[in-house]
Amino acid sequence: MSLNYRQQNIIKKLTLGLSIKGPGFTFRDIIYNFKQSVRSFRMFFKVIWNFRGFDYHYTLEVFSVCLKMQLESIREETALKEIDETRVPKEEKIERCLQLLNHIKNDDYLERCGYDYNYEVYFKPIPGSENSTMESTETQEQKKHNNIVREKASEKEDSEWNELWDTLKLEFRSFWS
């Protein structure tokens, strides 16, 4: 049952014009849109609450939520479920993108490459001055090892960023089709 023009205008006023699609719009569409809005509000509330436009970390958070929602939707058992030959590779690529996003957001490259944190950093006052100098108990071996690890971590970070963007360039639109 479609709504007539007058009914659509009443609904448009009640919903502030957010839910009307045009001719053939039904009450079931309103219910569906309302449920989707509540679900999206629940999924995005914390991310949007914490969002800060000056830091790309929060943009990655929003994108992660979008990818998680898409992965859930792909995995749902529905009559429109994709065949395994196309669905499984999509799932794997989305999972890999989520994993890469997680590494980027956590900035855990040094830990993953074996950085040695087994030393202390302290401030030593300079005699006859109000200033101090920063010193550490790091040995020469640790310094050499940590410098190598920093280089590896930097390379790993660059390669994972590139992998993420290459995957998105090639596959992004297919995640939603």
Long-range contacts of 14-17 (CB under 8 A, 24+ apart): none
* Domain co-membership, 138 together with 172: yes
> How high is the pLDDT of residue 29?
76
Same domain? 17 vs 96: no
Q: Are 70 and 118 in a shared domain? A: yes
Tell me the pLDDT tens digit for each residue of 94-144.
Answer: 999 999 999 999 999 999 999 999 999 999 999 999 999 999 999 999 999
Residues 104 and 135 in one domain: yes
Considering the domain architecture, whether residues 41 and 72 belong to the same structural domain is answered as no
Whether residues 15 and 83 share a domain: the answer is no
Q: Is the pLDDT of residue 9 over 60?
A: yes
Distance CA 96, CA 164 (A): 8
Q: Is residue 61 located within the same domain as residue 142? A: yes
Instruction: Name the average pLDDT for the chain.
Output: 85
Question: How many distinct structural domains can be found in the chain?
Answer: 2
Domain that holds residue 129: 51-176
